[in-house]
Amino acid sequence: MAGTDKQREMLAEGPAIILVEPQLGENIGMVARAMANFGLAELRLVNPRDGWPNEKARAAASRADHVVDAVKVYGDPAEAVADLNFVQATTARARDNFKPVRGPVEAAAGLRARHKGGQKTGILFGRERWGLTNEEVALADEIVTFPVNPAFASLNIAQAVLLMSYEWMKTAPEAAVLPEPPRQTPATKEHLSSLMDYLDRVLSERGYFRTEDKKPKMMDNLRTLFTRPGFTVEELAVLRGVLTSLEKFTPRKPKGLGKPGAGD
Amino acid sequence: MAGTDKQREMLAEGPAIILVEPQLGENIGMVARAMANFGLAELRLVNPRDGWPNEKARAAASRADHVVDAVKVYGDPAEAVADLNFVQATTARARDNFKPVRGPVEAAAGLRARHKGGQKTGILFGRERWGLTNEEVALADEIVTFPVNPAFASLNIAQAVLLMSYEWMKTAPEAAVLPEPPRQTPATKEHLSSLMDYLDRVLSERGYFRTEDKKPKMMDNLRTLFTRPGFTVEELAVLRGVLTSLEKFTPRKPKGLGKPGAGD
């Protein structure tokens, strides 16, 4: 971890880069280097195949040691984004879901605006071979795709990180303004995960998912539905209250009679 | 992969990438891959250290064989740009000369304009360690520099080529076209009202509003919550399904047992 005040300041700037199950240390190192080139410093790894620390990563980072030294490792993607308010997922191909799809320029502008608004942001990058699963994409608020040559679309992971870092830095001079400064607290991914866990339980109990094999896709849809609005903590609390009311009380035993629900 | 007319058309598009005395085959290969990603195909090498062809370059190119196969080798930089009308030189640091200095966006726009005017264009990239000599820069019409982090400015040659190729593709009219987001139907206010009426009923039955005088404000909050995201018809249907499941079914009488709900 670097020492000067100026560097520490630099470390705090900008979105976290989150690599899901990266395989090659060289790639992780090149990602760190690309981040350093464009002023990003927060690198998170989800289950790196060869463990961590990784000497090949350090070598490939070409002295971007402040990024390598600050790497955090997580056991699963949800955990890696839990403290963030806003997450983008990079994908090579269009997905069949409800999320907005952005190009890198637009995506970076969105990140910058939220960053200025005090939100913690991050960008998910998938495995070298096959990217992110639908479930992982469902963790994100938006999808980012790159305007690549359709005949040769496979972007190396370090290249993808480079482009997003570069576009991030390009937004720096401009005064991006958040449309409406939120008076409420943007929810973190953890808040949302908690709601999803709750829904999973109460809907499973009620046979909502019909069959087990349909459940993952249906949960993805639900996650997307509740992710897209970028709900605040306060809004999630209201939503939770509605759902709990439906879950715990009935017309015959409404709230106040005290029977069905353990508490509130 | 190569072969169709469309691809051949694509190959002819855009500036030549000219690497001056590249040292590592891996870097040449990664340059070829980056070019292919963004629709460039004309790679020129000036005195590659390890000669040409180079198997390491081919391996690193990840099947960008059409670029590798078409590489032309030159004995000096002047020869490599001899047939071009307009040349840019990429440099890491400002130079003490009279040439215009462009950022990548502006540089790509200039290339595109000249390309449209029928000019042949090219971009010079220097050696891994120390870039281009002043004499080589003098061959160019313009200088291109990248908006990097001043504290960590060393761009890998393949990354520099990637950024220019990317900016080149972004200037293409087609590049603005992103994969179409799935077409959904924006919900009307009527759709939303119907959901609110439903919530009013089932929540009232359950004592959610506690007292009548609190209800108007609480309903306002709910309406705001569900209005803000601008849900689509499809999303509202999913949401309605969740709420109905909670309303009609219980862990003891889940969906499928047929008892509690009249229908679905």
**Residue found under tokens 């077409």:** B183
Percent of chain A with pLDDT over 70: 86
pLDDT score, position B261: 42
Q: Which CA distances in Å does B60 have to B45, B56, B85, B214?
A: 16, 6, 31, 67
- Residues A163-219 pLDDT 10s: 999 999 998 864 333 334 446 787 888 888 888 899 999 999 888 888 889 898 888
On the question of pLDDT at B166 being above 70, the answer is yes
Per the CB < 8 A criterion, the answer to whether A135 and A216 are in contact is yes
Distance in angstroms (rounded) separating the CA atoms of residues B46 and B22: 8
ipTM of the complex: 0.71
Per the CB < 8 A criterion, the answer to whether A191 and A162 are in contact is no
Domains of chain B: 5-176 (3.40.1280.10), 179-264 (1.10.8)
CB atoms within 10 A of CB A153: 13
Inspect the interface and report whether the beta carbons of A243 and B246 lie closer than 8 Å: yes
Residue type, A184: Q
Collapsing DSSP states into helix, strand and coil, what is residue B8? helix
**Which of B39, B62, B146 lies at the smallest CB-CB distance from A149?**
B39
- Residues B18-30 pLDDT 10s: 999 999 999 999 9
Question: Which residues in chain A are closer than 8 Å to B153, comparing Cβ atoms?
Answer: 37
On the CB side of B130, how many CA atoms lie within 13 Å of its CA? Answer: 3
Percent of chain B with pLDDT over 70: 86
**Which of A37, A170, A235 lies at the smallest CB-CB distance from B225?**
A235
Q: Which residue of A has its CA nearest to B7?
A: A151
- pLDDT band at residue B97 using 50, 70 and 90 as cut-offs: low
Question: Which residues in chain A are closer than 8 Å to B255, comparing Cβ atoms?
Answer: 206-208, 210
Burial class (CB in 10 A: 0-12, 13-18, 19+), A263: exposed
pLDDT score, position B95: 62
- Residues A101-143 pLDDT 10s: 899 999 999 999 999 888 899 999 999 888 999 889 988 999 9
Inspect the interface and report whether the beta carbons of B256 and A210 lie closer than 8 Å: yes
pLDDT score, position A206: 87
Question: Which residues in chain A are closer than 8 Å to B182, comparing Cβ atoms?
Answer: 96-98
Most confident among A35-49, A79-93, A122-136, B195-209 (mean pLDDT): A35-49
pLDDT average, residue stretch B87-91: 92
Inspect the interface and report whether the beta carbons of B206 and A7 lie closer than 8 Å: no
